[in-house]
Amino acid sequence: MKILVTGGAGFIGSNFIFYMLDQHPDYDIVCLDALTYAGNLETLEHVMDNDNFKFIKGDIRDRDFIFDLFKKENFDMVVNFAAESHVDRSIKDPGVFLETNILGTQVLMAACREYGIKRFHQVSTDEVYGDLPLDKPDLMFTEETSITTSSPYSASKASADLLVEAYHRTFNLPVTISRCSNNYGPYQFPEKLIPLMISKALAEEELPVYGKGENVRDWLYVKDHCEAIDLILHKGQQGEVYNIGGHNERSNLEVVKTILNELDKPESLITFVEDRAGHDLRYAIDPTKISEELDWEPTILFDQGIKKTIKWYLDNEEWWQNILSGEYQDYYQKMYGDKQGDKR
């Protein structure tokens, strides 16, 4: 089995590569990543020499390059993590979100059609369902919840999902889609809430919290997400959408206070800042379908997972300090020069 993992130098994609190499040592894994600001090749350093792993620098928007790659590599499956993923950036500069998240997905599916594939899996997000009110805790997103987006990021992911479903219906492409809640864990870029707050708390800098910190997210430890995608690839039904979430709802303020508490830092570091435009109030996933059909259950509760995550950031300070200093962007250049293409 040869699997193309796009966006594998980012947070979830890299964790998925480690998971798959560990669970399926007989599979070949090819990582394709454009190494945008969010991609960090240092993350993949310890698997770079594996015989069954290959890194390729390239852009999913580049049709000629993608078609050449598919022709050469003969993939069995594609798991598409490649995306612009930060909501705040999508508010400042939406264009690239549409190009990568929508058009890039279309280029990959066109190549899948041309060269044949057993499965194209689209890694989507619960943000395509919009948000839920804070005062109705029983309401949750199911796979039947209508698509209602709030930010250019979620609109681009929702558009890609619709396109994936259209490729299934019109061209019979064997697709699956997963919509997951907020992930946390090792190797998350320090612009996202949890690593940002850990790094600020350690530096005893102000911790900026949007609005009153009331917005609620459903947190899932990244390894549980990887396991769910592995199950969907092997046992999921073509054409189906699977919600993935762990019933671990926390307000942003609770998350930040937990981090401060774990690091023994004062809550006076919290600074409330002007709310994000269009800020979604609450996300909550109902994972009944994947639990009943594929027997998936989250294994790590938030209270354990956040401790593991904080420990990882404490033990791997060089990794995130290199990002904060910008040094990580020189790594590829230093190792491989300026070429697109195969790297082992």
Ligand X SMILES: NC(=O)c1ccc[n+]([C@@H]2O[C@H](COP(=O)([O-])OP(=O)(O)OC[C@H]3O[C@@H](n4cnc5c(N)ncnc54)[C@H](O)[C@@H]3O)[C@@H](O)[C@H]2O)c1
Binding to ligand X, residues 157-216 (CB under 6 A): 157, 180, 182-183, 189
Q: Is 224 a catalytic residue?
A: no
Task: Check: CB of residue 133 under 8 Å from CB of residue 139.
Answer: yes
Contact region with ligand X (CB under 6 A), list: 30-38, 162-170, 203-211, 268-276 = 30-38
Q: In what order do the strands lie in the sheet with 182-184?
A: 182-184, 216-221, 249-251
Give the range of 77-85, 112-120, 301-309, 312-320 binding ligand X by CB under 6 A.
77-85
Which long-range contacts link 160-163 to residues 24+ away (Cβ below 8 Å)?
160/101, 160/102, 160/105, 160/122, 160/124, 161/122, 161/124, 161/128, 161/241, 163/102, 163/105, 163/106, 163/109
**Residue from 83, 158, 270, 300 binding ligand X (CB under 6 A):** 83
Nearest-CB residue to ligand X? 10
Sign of CA dihedral 69, 71, 75, 78: positive
Q: Does the active-site annotation cover 127?
A: yes
Is residue 26 annotated as a catalytic residue, yes or no?
A: no
Q: What is the size of the binding site for ligand X (CB under 6 A)?
A: 30
Closest CA to 180 of 222, 148, 230: 222
Single residue of 4, 28, 31, 39 touching ligand X by CB under 6 A: 39
Judge contact between 83 and 101, C-beta under 8 A: yes
Determine, following the binding rule CB under 6 A, whether residue 12 of this chain makes contact with ligand X.
yes
Contact between 145 and ligand X by CB under 6 A: the answer reads no
7 makes contact with ligand X (CB under 6 A): yes
Euclidean distance between CA atoms 14 and 7, whole angstroms: 8
Q: Does 104 bind ligand X (CB under 6 A)?
A: yes
Task: Report which secondary-structure segment, H or E, holds 152.
Answer: helix 152-171
Q: Which stretch binds ligand X (CB under 6 A): 33-41, 106-114, 200-208, 306-314?
A: 33-41
Distant-in-sequence, close-in-space partners of 246: CB < 8 Å, separation ≥ 6: 181, 218, 219, 220, 221, 224, 285, 287, 298, 300, 301, 302
Cα gap 92→77, rounded to integer Å: 34
Question: What is the closest distance, in whole angstroms, from the C-beta atom of residue 268 to ligand X in the complex?
Answer: 28
Which of 42, 59, 131, 227 is close enough to bind ligand X by CB under 6 A?
Answer: 59
Told to check if 152 binds ligand X by CB under 6 A, we report no
Q: Is the dihedral of CA 100, 320, 249, 275 positive or negative?
A: negative
Element (H, E) at 5: strand 2-6
Rounded Cα distance between 180 and 1, Å, is 25
Considering beta carbons, is residue 225 or 257 the nearer one to ligand X? Answer: 225
Catalytic residue chosen out of the listed positions 42, 84, 131, 153: 153
- Taking CB under 6 A as the rule, does residue 129 contact ligand X? no
Q: Is residue 33 close enough to count as binding ligand X by CB under 6 A?
A: yes
Q: Would you count residue 100 as binding ligand X (CB under 6 A)?
A: yes
Asked whether position 61 contacts ligand X by CB under 6 A, the answer is yes
Catalytic residue among 127, 224, 230, 286: 127
Give yes or no for residue 128 binding ligand X (CB under 6 A). Answer: no
Is residue 176 within 8 A of residue 80, CB to CB? The reply is: no
Site for ligand X in 320-339 (CB under 6 A): none
Residues 6+ apart with CB under 8 A from 167: 109, 113, 120, 173, 175
Which of 3, 4, 5, 13 is in the footprint of ligand X by CB under 6 A? 13
Q: Is 109 in the site for ligand X (CB under 6 A)?
A: no
Give residues in contact with ligand X (CB under 6 A). 6-7, 9-13, 33-36, 38-39, 59-61, 81-85, 100, 104, 123, 125, 157, 180, 182-183, 189
* Catalytic residue numbers, as ranges: 126-127, 153
